[in-house]
Chain A
Amino acid sequence: MATILEAFNEARRILSGRPNVQGISYTSDRIIVYAISAEGIPTSILGFPVEIIITGPFRIY
């Protein structure tokens, strides 16, 4: 079983090229993905569930 940090690093790798993904994070038991849409985002990574949070892009204030 992978650790959550390994899953987070894997999430960074596979999601880095996706224009709809705006950010990623993690808790002790899941990966969090901030995205404009859920398109192409897997429901789990290395056995950890992925929570998708729909948001617009982040911009400087």
Chain B
Amino acid sequence: MPVPPELKKKLEQEGIVGVSDPEFGGERVIRVYVETEEDAKRVLMEMPEVKVAGVSVKTEPIVSGRFYALARTEKIRPIVGGISTGNYRITAGTLGLIVRDKTTKKPLILSNNHVLTQVINGIEGEIGDPILQPGPYDGGTENDIVAKLLRFVTIKLPPETNLVDAAVAEIVEGLDFKEFEIMDIGKVTGIAEAREGERVFKSGRTTGLTQSTIFDTRATIKVYGYYSPDSYAIFEDQLISSTPFMAGGDSGSVWVNERKEVVGLGFAGSDRFSCANRIQNVINLLDIEIPTVRVVTMSALPLLALAIIPNIYLMFKKS
């Protein structure tokens, strides 16, 4: 949603580099991105609230530093969800999210099989294949290896069916990364089942941050383009969005709901819809984890205090 003109005017003030009226649910706040801590203090002192269309809304200063143009198709470090990536033999797709191996707890890149392997031209990748950021189509070379292919779910052709188009790659030693974070969305808070009619967001290499709503949560669909452009694979238990909010190169981006819970792994679409694998199927088949982040709300603080204070009292009593 475009920011109202009265908010845009705030950008003329020194130290303020961005304003936003986010729509992620909860209490409405105006985010004010500032260059320094001093700027953040000034915002809190001078404008704890701003008027938007005649309504007073609290401000939330965020120290971001200055913004510089950062294309998702460029080399980006630390690596983060929502940017270009791909097997060294493909064009480019999207790095969905950095997740954890359920057993080893190592950080892994999550994306589609057809992004991290090379299923399009008749062969699947091999374990250990180099994964580039950016993807080869965006100029990624052997100097841009960020991970090695670790696991993937083979795409089966009819009469067999599939649940996911998914793979993970192990991040190379020493590379800087942002775990569980997506460009323009931030940290995810866990996973959830998608519900019909709920709003979902994705952040992808080609179309950036876009949104739609869930139209269908249990579709069985034919998807073309595996092994050859005209052959198809059948996918069961799929999510369908009400609009085509992804495009070529967005494959691998994850769908999150308004609470920033991951609900799907985007991979395909038509002229009317986009499609995603249910995230629970992806997690089960790839043996990965996306931990739940407990958000403590102001209303929960009194309860938290009630839970902690007796323990502190007992601690002092013992000593």
B226 part of interface (Cβ distance < 8 Å): yes
Chain A at the B interface: mostly helix, strand, loop or mixed?
strand
Q: A55-B272, A61-B251 are in contact. Are A23 and B267 (CB under 8 A)?
A: no
Complex: A22 Cα to B93 Cα, angstroms:
24
- Per-residue CB contact flags for chain B residues 233-263 toward chain A (1 = under 8 Å, else 0) read 0000010100000111111000000000000
A 3-61 contacts with B by CB, 8 A: 12, 21-26, 32, 34, 53-61
CB of A25 within 8 A of CB of B216, answer yes
Complex: A53 Cα to B272 Cα, angstroms:
10
B200 part of interface (Cβ distance < 8 Å): no
Number of A-B pairs whose CB atoms are under 8 Å?
77
- Per-residue CB contact flags for chain B residues 267-285 toward chain A (1 = under 8 Å, else 0) read 1111111110000000000
CB of B269 within 8 A of CB of A23, answer no
CB-CB nearest in chain A for B274: A61
CB of A61 within 8 A of CB of B250, answer yes
CB of A59 within 8 A of CB of B224, answer yes
The tally of residues in B whose CB lies under 8 Å from a CB in A reads 34
Complex: A25 Cα to B120 Cα, angstroms:
27
Complex: A61 Cα to B248 Cα, angstroms:
4
Complex: A33 Cα to B232 Cα, angstroms:
17
CB of B273 within 8 A of CB of A55, answer yes
Q: Tell which of A26, A34, A53, A54 has the most Cβ of chain B within 10 Å.
A: A34
B165 part of interface (Cβ distance < 8 Å): yes
Complex: A34 Cα to B216 Cα, angstroms:
11
A interface with B by C-beta (< 8 Å): 12, 21-26, 32, 34, 53-61
Instruction: With A59-B270, A61-B249 given, name 6 new contacts (CB 8 A).
Output: A22-B221, A23-B221, A23-B238, A56-B272, A59-B224, A61-B93
